[in-house]
Amino acid sequence: MARTNIEWTDAVWNPVAGCSIVSPGCTNCYAMQMASRLAAMGSRKYAGLTRKSGGRAKWTGKIRCNKKSLSVPLKWKKPRRIFVNSMSDLFHPDVPVNFIADIWAIMAATPQHIYQILTKRPERMTEVLFYTYPPAFPFLLNVWLGTSIENSETLCRTKALRKCSGARHFISFEPLLGPVADADLSGIDWVIVGGESGLNARPMEAAWARDLRDKCAQAGIPFFFKQWGKHIPEGQQKGLLDGVLHHDFPLQPVGE
């Protein structure tokens, strides 16, 4: 199994590798640094996807689709939550529609798993899922669709996300870089919040996380507080928001 430290999933599945920066939330992209390390260790899957600039790894913009990885979830008999493409963005403009259709077919063939697709490009997700002809993207009960939002400038992504039909809609506010008290959470089934980790991590203020916690409580939306990241505000504890562990999931047991 492709193990992961990401608390809100059980496994990662990476049929696509490589990406390019789209907004400020990407600046310290974990996948970009990890792809560079894996390439340095000799992994052909990640070779040439990053270059060094100012001593740090940067995406080259090259995307690699890995046909061999497609069959991986077929071998996982035990039901699990699977994060699709932790090392890329499935709806990057250079991921071919045909390859996304292949991924869709695998998800349809493995209803025992729940697939969590998270994109910073929900506009392309809408285009691909709705306007591809012949239609290749049926609604799947085991596919959750999500978008990442880092600040008020990226809140518009929720609008595009709502247009797509997923079994569940979720938003990952990670890394949260500014207040998003105006977030419209209507039609959203799950909210994840997290701060940034790593060398140049930017701090998340407790008030920003509290705003989202309170909005979710009011609307009855499951709230998952992942972590503070590198900077833990005074009076807060690792992994807890105001002393409370929030690890809620939408109601859909794995394997149902």
Structure tokens at 218: 């009011």
Residue 249 vs residues 50, 119, 162, 174, 256: alpha-carbon distances, Å: 34, 19, 19, 16, 14
| Contact pick of 12, 16, 17, 19 for ligand SF4 (by CB under 6 A) | 19
| Contact pick of 29, 63, 185, 221 for ligand SF4 (by CB under 6 A) | 29
Q: Applying CB under 6 A, which part among 27-35, 39-47, 49-57, 237-245 lies near ligand SF4?
A: 27-35
Question: Residue 164 interacts with ligand SF4 (CB under 6 A)?
Answer: no
| Contact pick of 10, 89, 150, 211 for ligand SF4 (by CB under 6 A) | 89
| Contact pick of 12, 26, 114, 193 for ligand SF4 (by CB under 6 A) | 26
CB < 8 Å & 24+ apart, contacts of 160-163: 160/122, 160/123, 160/125, 160/126, 161/122, 161/125, 161/188, 162/186, 162/187, 163/126, 163/130
Q: Applying CB under 6 A, which part among 26-34, 133-141, 188-196, 224-232 lies near ligand SF4?
A: 26-34
Q: How many residues bind ligand SF4 (CB under 6 A)?
A: 10
**Quick one: CA torsion of 112, 117, 123, 124, rounded to 10 degrees?**
-80
Q: Applying CB under 6 A, which part among 17-25, 75-83, 160-168, 199-207 lies near ligand SF4?
A: 17-25
Question: Residue 34 interacts with ligand SF4 (CB under 6 A)?
Answer: no
Give me the least distance between CB of 117 and ligand SF4, in Å please: 12
Residue 4 or residue 112: which is nearer to ligand SF4 going by CB? 4
Query: H/E/C letters for each residue in 21-76?
Result: CCCHHHCCCHHHHHHHHHHHCCCHHHCCCEEEECCEEEECCCCEECHHHHHHHHHC
Question: Residue 206 interacts with ligand SF4 (CB under 6 A)?
Answer: no
Distance, CA of 226 to CA of 26 (rounded, Å): 18
Question: Residue 90 interacts with ligand SF4 (CB under 6 A)?
Answer: no
- By CB under 6 A, the residues from 101 to 160 that bind ligand SF4 are 120
Q: Which class for 5: exposed (0-12), middle (13-18), buried (19 or more C-beta within 10 A)?
A: exposed
**Contact footprint for ligand SF4 (CB under 6 A):** 19, 21-22, 26, 29, 31-32, 88-89, 120
